């Protein structure tokens, strides 16, 4: 099985919930902090090939609200969204879970249970 990586920022409540859920399930993962490690253009391109750009950009967070109105209006497609997320990775909706070939954006217990086992067995390997 390929490495499981959880992307986000340390102080994000949804990231903390996801990390706790994974720990409780005994699921080993590497944490990638956007603030400390940034966001690679190739990785973002991989995500955007599988996840709609408007699902990946966080329009509810503080980073979005701090943008000038013209910057927000300029985000109209995949290219403009990617440029903005690369310039400030905290604009990516969190957490992003990469488990095998699966890319999951956001956190809910039901969503994570469906990733790791359709029956909800948290210790099982991720579904492809």
Q: Which residues are known catalytic residues?
A: 12
Query: Residue 72 CB: number of other CB atoms within 10 A?
Result: 12
Residue partners of 19: CB distance under 8 A and separation at least 6:
6, 29, 31
CB 75 within 8 Å of CB 58: no
Cβ 127 vs Cβ 116: under 8 Å: yes
Question: Pseudo-torsion of CA 54, 58, 59, 61, nearest 10°?
Answer: 180
């Amino acid at each position: 099985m390929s490495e499981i990586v959880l992307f986000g920022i340390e102080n994000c409540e949804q990231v903390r919930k996801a990390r706790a859920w994974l720990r409780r399930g005994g699921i080993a993962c590497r944490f990638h902090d956007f603030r400390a490690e940034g966001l690679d253009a190739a990785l973002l391109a991989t995500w955007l090939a599988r996840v709609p750009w408007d699902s990946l950009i966080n329009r509810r967070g503080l980073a979005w609200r701090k943008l000038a109105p013209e910057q927000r209006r300029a985000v109209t497609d995949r290219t403009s969204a990617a440029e903005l997320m690369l310039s400030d990775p905290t604009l990516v909706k969190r957490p992003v879970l990469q488990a095998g070939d699966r890319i999951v954006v956001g956190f809910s217990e039901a969503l994570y249970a469906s990733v790791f086992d359709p029956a909800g067995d948290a210790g099982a390997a991720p579904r492809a």
